[in-house]
A and B are shown apart, each in its own frame.
Chain A
Amino acid sequence: MVAMTISTAQAHAPKTASPLPAPAIETHDLAKRYGDTVALAGLTMTVPRGEVFGFLGPNGAGKTTAVKLLLGLARATGGRGQVLGAPIGDLRARRRIGYLPELFRYQSWLRAREVLGAHSELAGLPAEGRSREIEAVLQLVGLTERGSDRVGAFSKGMQQRLGLAVALLGEPEVVFLDEPTSALDPVGRADVRGIIRHLRERGATVFLNSHLLGEVERVCDRVAIVDRGRVIAEGPIDELLGARSLRVRATGLDDGDRSSFARFGPLTVDGDWLTIRPIEPEVVPEVVATIVAAGGRVHAVEPGRATLEDRFLALLQVEESPPTEPKP
């Protein structure tokens, strides 16, 4: 069983005299088996408060299992964990947790405001502030106009928006979003990104389960990639994606001019194309200005970096390739 540490809360903790708040999520060797099938193998991680944490993986990797374990919906077969400093499943901690399930379904015979009202009661929100809270989350997810409609008449996208509103009720400190954009159109996806940024701004921790890597890349501070029940990579997203590069197509330069660009970073020349990798993003304008100053003509400038998808696929390929036999 493989156990990997994803991050440490201490690295992000503020240097104050007050006691450190418990991490948003902390697990040690958390495992789940269904008979002979390993759904999650020894998950050890710490998610600091206030981060947007991406939990990535292909279908069936164990992402939803991890969320269900952290929420106490399923029982771990090994290891332990805490959410907001309380053992998994603690009722008081659940008051401060929001959850949008991957399988988002709400009572079709209720109106959207009634669903939110019921969840406000179940979450133990004070009665006097419930209406205001319900209107606030409806507005946040763009359902104010449809708040009095029966859920049964909602499209899947609208139901997912309602699920998001349910998850946001009561300003939770940790929000678990399991594939939150699976039923949304591009506008809806952009809205969800905005909501996640809003959550980060108010200091909430977001645990984002997704296999939509573009979404994750745009909003997450830190990611873990899980495959077949175990974490295969983790870290801040910038570190995971690796170095940036710059490709420039320039004409009118001689070999001396070209070689001088090596001062910006390791240089590769392929015809009119110059590639510098790695390169700091701030020096790109200087590179272009240098080409122009040398009498060259710039036809194309392509800053680049490996996408999360590239990195993800590469990691999965490594995982799936058979191990090499050691030579005697």
Chain B
Amino acid sequence: MTTIIRLTLVEAMRRRILWAFVVLTAVIAALTGWGLSVLVESAHQHGVSSLQVGIGISQVLILLAFMFSFVLAMSAAFLGAPAIASELESGILLAVLARPLRRSSLILGRWLGLSLIVVGYTALAGVMELGVTKLVTDYLPPEPVEAVVYLAGQAVVLLTVALVLSTRLPGIAAGAVCVVLFGLSWMAGVMGGVAAAFNLPELSAITSAARYLLPLDGLWRGTVYSLEPPSIAFLTQLAGNRAGAAAVSANPFYAPSGPPVGYLAYVVAWVALALVVAIASFRRREI
């Protein structure tokens, strides 16, 4: 399995995937720093309070996190989708699987290698973005590490889906399905909030099921919650009555609380089960 992990990492390096990520992220971090410095300077000139500035910066960070969430989702989908399928189509796996290598080792090796790449990239992007923000504005969100972990978790979940699909579908089809699933999951999260705000139990049941079928939205809410200053929830409650607050909570860029431990355990179990499915599917695959 270590050989497969190493080959996966070498492939990412040699195909310049990692370098492309690093360079683009550095550009985004530089632009973030410049944008935040303009924003903070303008706020100070207009006498905006530091509390409001903090809330403003947190909203910018949440939007940036959303952008990275999308980038990571796409990266995970397009790294994972061809991981098995393209090597089957090209014939590379013919010689590899004739070796004394279990198919489960190939799946787990690919998953671990690709997970290392997306988690490493998420950590790097998180450090760069939050570091630049701290440097320029002196603001650091309350739970920066958790925010990055939740973001990486989303990427790993989608990567796992891509790998499962890769054992059966051509790479392009698997990637396309992943992108659609990501969009549906995000939409289910928004609609779930709407269902709760307007007390629509049927819609709520469907969106809750969708959230558990593909546990991306819960992790996204965790990222948002980790980036919000503690004052924002209090201010939101002050802003209106209970129904109004519930309607605010339908906003995909707001989270009144982080995901419970039980949900996180569910996500871990979900990923493990998806890997079992991937292995079972690949074992049955004719090469």
- Distance in angstroms from A122 CB to nearest chain B CB is 4
The verdict on A107 contacting B102 (CB below 8 Å), with A73-B94, A74-B287 known, is no
Contact across chains for B98 and A94 when beta carbons are under 8 A apart: yes
Q: Which of B8-16, B37-45, B155-163, B251-259 contacts its partner? A: B8-16
Contact across chains for B100 and A101 when beta carbons are under 8 A apart: no
Contact across chains for A99 and B287 when beta carbons are under 8 A apart: no
Contact across chains for A123 and B100 when beta carbons are under 8 A apart: yes
- Further 20 A-B residue pairs, CB within 8 A, beyond A110-B10, A166-B95: A73-B98, A74-B287, A75-B286, A91-B100, A92-B100, A95-B100, A99-B94, A101-B91, A101-B94, A103-B90, A105-B92, A106-B92, A107-B7, A107-B92, A109-B14, A118-B3, A121-B3, A122-B99, A123-B100, A176-B98
Contact across chains for B10 and A109 when beta carbons are under 8 A apart: yes
Chain B 179-208, CB-CB to A under 8 Å as 1, else 0, gives 000000000000000000000000000000
Contact across chains for A94 and B99 when beta carbons are under 8 A apart: yes
A94–B7 Cα distance when bound, in Å, is 21
In this assembly, does B96 line the interface, its C-beta being within 8 Å of a C-beta of chain A?
Answer: yes
In this assembly, does B20 line the interface, its C-beta being within 8 Å of a C-beta of chain A?
Answer: no
In this assembly, does A124 line the interface, its C-beta being within 8 Å of a C-beta of chain B?
Answer: yes
- Distance in angstroms from B84 CB to nearest chain A CB is 14
Q: Name B105's closest neighbour in chain A (CB-CB).
A: A122
Which residues on A sit within 8 Å (CB–CB) of B97? 73
The verdict on A71 contacting B98 (CB below 8 Å), with A104-B91, A107-B92 known, is yes
- Distance in angstroms from B28 CB to nearest chain A CB is 27
A182–B95 Cα distance when bound, in Å, is 17
A296–B100 Cα distance when bound, in Å, is 67
Q: How many residues of B contact A (CB 8 A)?
A: 21
Contact across chains for A99 and B15 when beta carbons are under 8 A apart: no
In this assembly, does A163 line the interface, its C-beta being within 8 Å of a C-beta of chain B?
Answer: yes
In this assembly, does B101 line the interface, its C-beta being within 8 Å of a C-beta of chain A?
Answer: yes
Which residues on A sit within 8 Å (CB–CB) of B92? 105-107
Contact across chains for B95 and A91 when beta carbons are under 8 A apart: no
Contact across chains for A118 and B7 when beta carbons are under 8 A apart: yes
Chain A 94-129, CB-CB to B under 8 Å as 1, else 0, gives 110101110111110110001000110111100000
A171–B98 Cα distance when bound, in Å, is 15
How large, as a class, is the contact surface on chain A? 20 to 34
Q: Which of A204-239 contact B (CB under 8 A)?
A: none
| Neighbour of A107 across the interface among B2, B11, B94, B98, CB < 8 A | B11
- Distance in angstroms from A70 CB to nearest chain B CB is 10
Main secondary structure of the interface of B (DSSP, over half): helix
Q: Which of B76-124 contact A (CB under 8 A)?
A: 90-92, 94-102
Contact across chains for B287 and A91 when beta carbons are under 8 A apart: no
Contact across chains for A94 and B100 when beta carbons are under 8 A apart: yes
- Distance in angstroms from A51 CB to nearest chain B CB is 21
Chain B 9-42, CB-CB to A under 8 Å as 1, else 0, gives 0110011000000000000000000000000000
In this assembly, does A68 line the interface, its C-beta being within 8 Å of a C-beta of chain B?
Answer: yes
Which residues on A sit within 8 Å (CB–CB) of B286? 73-75
Which residues on B sit within 8 Å (CB–CB) of A123? 99-100
Contact across chains for B100 and A124 when beta carbons are under 8 A apart: yes
Contact across chains for A103 and B10 when beta carbons are under 8 A apart: no
Q: Name A93's closest neighbour in chain B (CB-CB).
A: B100
Chain A 38-77, CB-CB to B under 8 Å as 1, else 0, gives 0000000000000000000000000000001001111100
- Distance in angstroms from B245 CB to nearest chain A CB is 53
A314–B194 Cα distance when bound, in Å, is 77
Contact across chains for A163 and B98 when beta carbons are under 8 A apart: no
Q: Which of B119-161 contact A (CB under 8 A)?
A: none
Q: Name B98's closest neighbour in chain A (CB-CB).
A: A99
- Distance in angstroms from B109 CB to nearest chain A CB is 11
Which residues on B sit within 8 Å (CB–CB) of A75? 286
A118–B109 Cα distance when bound, in Å, is 13
- Distance in angstroms from A69 CB to nearest chain B CB is 10
Which residues on B sit within 8 Å (CB–CB) of A105? 90-92, 94
Q: Name A73's closest neighbour in chain B (CB-CB).
A: B287
A19–B95 Cα distance when bound, in Å, is 32
Contact across chains for A122 and B3 when beta carbons are under 8 A apart: yes
Q: Which of A304-320 contact B (CB under 8 A)?
A: none
Which residues on B sit within 8 Å (CB–CB) of A72? 98
- Distance in angstroms from A63 CB to nearest chain B CB is 15
A/B interface sample: 26 pairs, CB < 8 A? A73-B286, A74-B287, A75-B286, A91-B100, A94-B99, A99-B94, A99-B95, A99-B98, A101-B91, A101-B94, A101-B95, A103-B91, A105-B91, A105-B94, A106-B95, A107-B92, A109-B10, A110-B7, A110-B10, A110-B14, A114-B10, A118-B7, A122-B99, A123-B99, A123-B100, A163-B95
Which residues on A sit within 8 Å (CB–CB) of B287? 68, 73-74
- Distance in angstroms from B164 CB to nearest chain A CB is 20
Interface centre among B90, B94, B97, B101 (most CB of A within 10 A): B94
The 5 A-B pairs at the shortest CB distance, nearest first, are namely A103-B91, A109-B14, A122-B99, A73-B287, A101-B94
Q: Name B102's closest neighbour in chain A (CB-CB).
A: A91
- Distance in angstroms from A55 CB to nearest chain B CB is 17
Interface centre among A68, A73, A122, A166 (most CB of B within 10 A): A122
- Distance in angstroms from B137 CB to nearest chain A CB is 41
A106–B99 Cα distance when bound, in Å, is 14
A75–B96 Cα distance when bound, in Å, is 17
- Distance in angstroms from A84 CB to nearest chain B CB is 12
